Amino acid sequence: MKKFIYIITIIFATMANGQSTDVLIWKSDTLNLYSNPLELKADWEQLNQVITSQIGLNRVEKSKDSVILSYLWRNYKTEWFIENDSLYLTDLSSLYSSEISIGLNKVFSTTEKRIFADWVNSSLTTFRGTCIVCRGTHHKNTSIYPNEKLLEFKNGVLIKTTDYKNSVLRESKFSSSDPNVYLSFIYRNVEWSKLPDLSNKHLLVWVSVEPRKNGKLRNIDWKNTFLIDGSNLIDDPKNTYIKEAVRIAKKIPEWNVVIRHDKILNQDLKIVFDEHMKKKYGR
């Protein structure tokens, strides 16, 4: 089992150290891509199935001292190239084994050695340095880096570039303190006795907050504040649980202030409403 844990650790470490599974070669420089431009293609889901089948995504790899469940991860990487301001996909390969190659011809049914990315009509972000806000899932990097360049494309052709310096302007002493203290503050301020019966319910409210430069709350971003109830997403600001979560958000004394692309990023507060949390923190 040690080897299995090691592999998982490496995936998250590469994110934290400013490396990406998707790269862009431009002007003899290799840049890290924040996301995979293939995901912008209309038939992305079908392509993804073909790619993963080529490298056996759903297989169980066996080694001497471990069993690796490779279907838990996106196990391929992409390489892109800009020539004469045109964006091309030049390579698809296994993330874990240099012995496993994925021919573009197998995925796109073509004899071309590169694919012109004419489906890209948006900005792609490249980054340098060690992340200043480190986040991510098993397949996607969502961290923030000190140096980012936005490359804007129209029908796969580069039309504009913009450089940004990102920073953590202010770190909240409250949210960065002992996690148990932070959670206790949130959940002990919930007025559990005033909420409807929570039996057999598991509700998650996500509150999006616009902080000021001094870390104090400026506004609630209602467009990105919602409740998840099973498969239902509710954004009614009059909802009892949303109102309660927003009330708690307004009690938070200070928020992180992160500058990205010359703007202050929204911060978020997530609160779970269920019987378990009520019993643990309710008075």
Chain mean position to CA 278? 30
Task: For 110-124, give one letter per residue: b (16+ CB within 10 A) or e.
Answer: eeeebbebebbeeeb
Q: What is the DSSP string of the chain?
A: -HHHHHHHHHHHHHHHTT--SEEEEETTEEEEESS-GGGGSTTHHHHHHHHHHHTTTT-EEE-SS-EEEGGGS--EEEEEEEETTEEEEEEEEESS-TT-EE-HHHHH----SSEE-TT--SEEEEEESS-SB--B-SS-B--B-SEEEEEEEETTEEEEEEEEE-EEEE--TTTTS-HHHHHHHHHHTS-GGGSPP-TT-EEEEEEEEEE-TTS-EEEE-GGG-EEEETTEEE--TT-HHHHHHHHHHTT-----EEEETTEEPPEEEEEEEEHHHHHHH--
Which tokens sit at 43?
């038939």
Quick count: other Cβ atoms within 10 Å of Cβ 139? Answer: 12
Q: Name, in order, each residue with C-beta under 8 angstroms of 86's C-beta and a sequence gap of 6 or more.
A: 116, 156, 157, 158
- pLDDT of amino acid 230: 92
pLDDT in single tens digits along all 283 residues of the chain:
444 333 333 333 344 445 578 999 999 899 999 889 999 999 988 888 888 887 764 343 434 444 444 444 567 889 999 999 999 999 988 877 766 778 888 888 888 899 999 999 999 999 998 999 987 654 567 789 999 999 999 999 999 999 999 999 999 988 777 888 889 999 999 999 999 999 989 999 999 999 999 999 999 999 999 999 999 999 999 999 999 999 999 999 999 999 999 999 999 999 999 999 999 998 6
Cα angle 262, 263, 265 (rounded to 5 degrees) comes to: 135
Q: Name, in order, each residue with C-beta under 8 angstroms of 175's C-beta and a sequence gap of 6 or more.
A: 182, 252, 254, 255, 256
| HSE toward the beta carbon, residue 48, CA cutoff 13 A | 15
CB distance 248 to 269 below 8 Å: yes
pTM score of the predicted model: 0.77
- pLDDT of amino acid 87: 98
